[in-house]
Amino acid sequence: MARFLILAFAAALLAGCVEGYKLVSPERTRVVNAFSVVPQTSWNRSIHGRVESWTLDGPGLQELRFVAGLDNGDRLFPTRGFAEPAKEAPAFRDTMTPIEIAEFVAASYSQAGAHEFRTRNLRPAKFGPDDGFRFDFSFATEGGLEWDGFAVGIVRSKRLYLAQFSAIRLHFFERDREAVERLVGTIRWET
Amino acid sequence: MKPASPGVAVLALLALAACQQPATSPTLAIAAAEATRPASAGPPIAMPSLAPDGGAIAHLKPAERPPISSDEAGLWLLSDKYEDQLRTSGSMVRDPALNDYVKGVVCRLAGAYCGDIRVYLVRRPGMNASMVPNGTMAVWTGLLLRARNEAQLATILAHEIGHYLRRHGVQAMRDARDKSAAALFFSVGFGVVGVPAAGDLVALGLVGSMYAFSRDNEREADDIGIRIMARAGYDPREAAKVWANLIAEVKNDEESKDRAIFFATHPEREERLETLAALAESLLPAVAEPRLGRAEHEAAIGPHRLGFLIDELQHRRYARLEPLLGMLAADGFRTGEVRYAEGEMYRLRGKEGDDAKALAAYEAAEVSGGAPAELYRSAGLVRLRQGDRAKAVSAFARYLELLPDATDREMIRMMMAQPTS
């Protein structure tokens, strides 16, 4: 999975549609002109269209991923590997319930190469000031590393917004989880 | 599918690609396997004779490793590296009983080579298995799902053993080297094993020429495989059925590129079926009690089938899944689970008319029994989509009644409490 994300990023970088990593200061920061958050420490971020990938130590160790407005028919990972369109990847539908969105995320990650992607603890949760949902997830990489994560999301004006945090279970997930929970708690709409 | 490292690419290529050996008579050191045949078995089954083949590569002997100074030894080192990666892969199935079952079938087939072949179960949808030169066999769970009995599973495993015994890997390497196509090894981004990963190819022209040769390898592996399975007492008539079932599945997937690649790398489907069917008839008299092993297969695979079906559903290849589910439902094993998966397929696909098909499948699953409680949650989602809120709430309530500790109970309760929009 991590390898997939890195490759997808590298491909997008080559295609000129991705900025390299830039430092985010610990102050209120806009995320793809959709909402803003307040990190408590400096993060590295790269922007891929409507998706931002933030990391502290590298995307192979942890990733905070913001999806800022998927439209009907959009895919979470639009390509496989370097450039091949992921024709069979599941597409978001704006009529999806939170249950179906969790399924959509699970299928997207599975197709992208995650193994044993499992979701649990789907429940109502705030996304900024609004009522959204959240769920926990776990998966393993091809190399055998186990990752844990959680996602907070909402469908607003028929667009899907997600803040997903995932990290290697060993050390990184627990180390960073609380800080990310606080960061996600600062989401504020900017549109 | 992850792009493979060059080493893995080489191995994957060798697992897939062909040798340019002419289709000389295969040679097999399978005599030891003959010694393991039950006494009740019929007359010995003749392996293709060892004809003078003008320097064709010799068969592998039990416990044989190539001399360290040989090119083949280098290939084995790469194989060892691949095996290390496979061993620690996140996709490995660790369940001891399932591993023991598949390994047992392999040993029954391989006889004296049992100790030379290491089996790794890979949790992955799609029908696939592969063998690399050092005896590392990877078997996808999608194959376990599709084999309808032990004899069908044995068909594929024996085919892979045929590749190993005939050292098709080193043949392919030498072939590619002779064709000055070594660069191809490093430019081909195959996945670890098998046909579905071939979508990652580059250099299609050269690969195409490799595929043309691979048909000879595949024919040879078919020929050896069916004899191995017959010697082990399996009903050889099941061999053609495996391929017929796969063809039915792939034919339904008109837009799949896998379809074209699959049929390009394997013998023509009609030819293959006819050849295997004819071979089966000729071998049958020598098999005293042709074994299907249906009950044994079901005992081993049954507890995992729903999980494997969910893997297939996550990959959303509905066109291939539809005929497969139909076949599995007809088998009559754990029908409630199979019909539930069918309902899930229609619910997730969401084409016009699929909601009604999903509900029908859920109802059939309910009647059959044994379906998971999630059936009611899914039925509730379809009812919501149809705008039938009362039936949706009723289905959700049933779900929570059966699974009061469901980890999504708070969300379900919230959905039940929402006013009609």
pLDDT, one tens digit per residue, over A72-125 is 999 998 765 555 556 678 999 999 999 999 999 999 999 888 988 999 999 999
pTM score > 0.80 for this model?
A: yes
Name the burial class of residue B351, with classes exposed (0-12), middle (13-18) and buried (19+) by CB atoms within 10 angstroms of its CB.
Answer: exposed
Place of tokens 């992921």: A86
Cβ contact, residue pair B314, A111, below 8 Å: yes
Distance of alpha carbon B255 from alpha carbon A91, whole angstroms: 18
Q: Are B23 and B199 in contact (CB under 8 A)?
A: no
From the list B181, B204, B201, B205, the residue with the least C-alpha distance to B191 is: B201
Q: Are B235 and B292 in contact (CB under 8 A)?
A: yes
Give the residue numbers in B contacting A (CB under 8 Å), as ranges: 1-3, 85, 88-92, 123, 189, 199-200, 311, 313-317, 348, 350, 377, 381, 384-385, 407-408, 410-411, 414-415
- For B109, half-sphere exposure in the C-beta direction (CA atoms, 13 angstrom radius) is 34
- For B180, half-sphere exposure in the C-beta direction (CA atoms, 13 angstrom radius) is 0
Distance of alpha carbon A71 from alpha carbon B358, whole angstroms: 26
φ/ψ region of A128 (left if φ > 0, alpha if ψ in -120 to 50, else beta) reads left
B229-278 pLDDT tens trace: 999 999 999 999 998 888 888 877 765 555 545 555 555 777 888 999 99
The stretch B10-14 carries a mean pLDDT of 42
User: How far is A100 from chain B, CA to nearest CA, in Å?
Assistant: 9
Q: Is the pLDDT of residue B25 over 80?
A: no
Distance of alpha carbon B288 from alpha carbon B305, whole angstroms: 31
Chain B residue at shortest CA distance from A136: B407
**pLDDT of the residue at A19:** 61
In angstroms, what CA-CA distances link B49 with B27, B30, B279, B359, B375? 7, 12, 15, 57, 56
Cβ contact, residue pair A142, B2, below 8 Å: yes
The stretch A176-183 carries a mean pLDDT of 96
Tell me how far the alpha carbon of residue B170 is from its chain's centroid: 23
A13-72 pLDDT tens trace: 444 445 689 999 999 999 988 999 999 999 999 998 889 999 999 999 999 999 999 999
Instruction: For residue A132, count other CB atoms closer than 10 A to its CB.
Output: 21
- Residues near B173 by Cβ (< 8 Å), separated by ≥ 6? B10, B14, B71, B72, B75
Q: Is the pLDDT of residue B315 over 90?
A: no
Per DSSP, the three-state class of B420 is coil
Degrees, nearest 5: CA angle A159-B354-B407: 60
Distance of alpha carbon A159 from alpha carbon A50, whole angstroms: 12
Q: Are B48 and B223 in contact (CB under 8 A)?
A: yes
At residue B250, what are phi and psi to the nearest 5 degrees? -70, -35
Q: Is the pLDDT of residue B56 over 80?
A: no
The partner residue sitting opposite B90, judged by closest CB among A90, A120, A141, is: A141
- Residues near A130 by Cβ (< 8 Å), separated by ≥ 6? A154, A156, A189
Residues of A in contact with B200 (CB under 8 A): 81, 84
**pLDDT of the residue at B420:** 55
**Most confidently predicted of B162-171, B212-221, B257-266, B369-378:** B369-378
Q: Is the pLDDT of residue A11 over 80?
A: no
B152-172 pLDDT tens trace: 999 999 999 998 988 887 777
Q: Is the pLDDT of residue B1 over 50?
A: no
CATH 3.40.1000.10 matches A3-189: yes
Distance of alpha carbon B92 from alpha carbon B86, whole angstroms: 7
The ipTM (two decimal places) reads 0.87
A 117-146 residues with CB < 8 A to B: 117, 120-124, 133, 135, 139-146
The partner residue sitting opposite A98, judged by closest CB among B314, B317, B411, is: B411
- Residues near B278 by Cβ (< 8 Å), separated by ≥ 6? none
